[in-house]
Amino acid sequence: MKPINLSFAACGFLGIYHLGAASALCKHGGKLLKDVKAFAGASAGSLVASVLLTAPQKIEECNKFTYDFAEEIRRQSFGALTPGYDFMARLRSGVESILPANAHELAHGRLHVSITNSRTGRNCLASSFPSREDLVQVLLASSFLPIYAGLKPVEYKGQKWVDGSFTNSLPILPVGRTVTISPFSGRLDVSPQDKGRLHFYLSVTNQEVLTSKTTGVFLPIVTASSLVFLEETSPGPWSLPVDKALLWSSVRAATRRVVRPYAGPHKFLILVLSKALLWSSVNNSIFAKEAIDGNQ
């Protein structure tokens, strides 16, 4: 029998969905959890994976922290970007309070955290944690969204790292069967089933998300920002109130004018800035608020 792994996708404050999934696994999937060999995740997904592995009894506490954290940010004049507000310090306090003293020992070799090297733009799946501080630093690095979370990347092993979702938002481990979990509808094992689907998928750094009317409207912008790759998977009626040929033309034009002229680190800079804007929008949207309230 192949080993079973659990992987939690990057998703910002929609990580509240992951906490719901983790809670359900603890209550109804005890047998499955006993067979899980490894846990993986990116950004918020890595935080939930670490809790499920090292402190499953604290999922409710983690749930409360997430809710309070989101509300605290919304009370700020400019959200997490408010001068004087330290997003990373607040996140660290939550991680420190929830993870047990021997978390690094429990996570060593079993937890795989996606992080991105800020200099090379390359991905790394960190799974070796000699100390608890090493584990905390890796988790913070995987959740560090430049500009939104601060200006200085997280240092780990002499290098600087940023959000793992930039390069691998849904880690698939090479050995065994990886069960994928995401709050976005798509080609995933555990995810919501959204209505109003189109026949397109957005491939966002290893995570394939099924488009809806909302995501479809922003396809040209997202593509131009080099965040996604558009793939048509099957023929069918076009449900957006726009001309399909015109949309494709917009995508090609945006890609030609914005992405192609840039090379190397410039593309990565566009990616960082675009994700910062999108993350901020999601965090302050009514959809994130409803997701959090619905889990209480």
Overall average pLDDT of the 196-219 stretch: 60
Q: Tokens for 240, please give them.
A: 């957006």
What pLDDT band is residue 238 in, cutting at 50, 70 and 90? very low
Residue whose C-alpha is closest to residue 156's, from 167, 164, 147, 148: 164
pLDDT higher at 124 or 2:
124
Other beta carbons within 10 angstroms of residue 208's beta carbon come to 19
pLDDT higher at 202 or 272:
202
**Domain ranges in the chain?**
4-181
CB 227 within 8 A of CB 275: yes
Q: Which helix (H) or strand (E) holds 159?
A: strand 159-163
User: What pLDDT is stored for residue 197 in this prediction?
Assistant: 57
Does residue 178 surpass a pLDDT of 90?
yes
Does residue 270 surpass a pLDDT of 70?
no
Least confident of 12-16, 92-96, 242-246: 242-246
User: What pLDDT is stored for residue 268 in this prediction?
Assistant: 52
What pLDDT band is residue 4 in, cutting at 50, 70 and 90? very high
- CA angle at 171 for the pair 118 and 153, rounded to the nearest 5°: 20
Overall average pLDDT of the 221-247 stretch: 35
Complete edge-to-edge strand list for the sheet that includes strand 200-204: 207-210, 200-204, 229-232
What pLDDT band is residue 229 in, cutting at 50, 70 and 90? very low
For the annotated catalytic residues, the residue numbers are: 43, 163
Does residue 131 surpass a pLDDT of 50?
yes
What is the per-residue burial (b if ≥16 Cβ within 10 Å, else e) of 58-69? bbeebbebbbeb
Does residue 217 surpass a pLDDT of 50?
no
Q: Counting every residue, how long is the chain?
A: 296
**pLDDT tens for each residue of 136-166:** 999 999 999 988 898 899 999 999 999 998 8
Overall average pLDDT of the 83-112 stretch: 96
Is pTM, for the whole model, over 0.85? no
CATH among 3.30.310.10, 3.40.1090.10, 3.40.50.1220, 2.60.40.10 for 4-181: 3.40.1090.10
User: What pLDDT is stored for residue 67 in this prediction?
Assistant: 92
Overall average pLDDT of the 231-245 stretch: 35
**pLDDT tens for each residue of 32-87:** 899 999 999 999 999 999 999 999 999 999 999 999 999 999 999 988 989 999 99
pLDDT higher at 148 or 240:
148
pLDDT higher at 219 or 85:
85
How far apart (Å, rounded) are the C-alpha atoms in residues 26 and 73?
29
User: What pLDDT is stored for residue 158 in this prediction?
Assistant: 93
Determine the 3-state secondary structure of 268 from DSSP.
Answer: helix
- CA angle at 169 for the pair 200 and 213, rounded to the nearest 5°: 30
What CA–CA distances, in Å, run from 296 to 27, 29, 97, 225?
16, 21, 21, 35
User: What pLDDT is stored for residue 180 in this prediction?
Assistant: 95
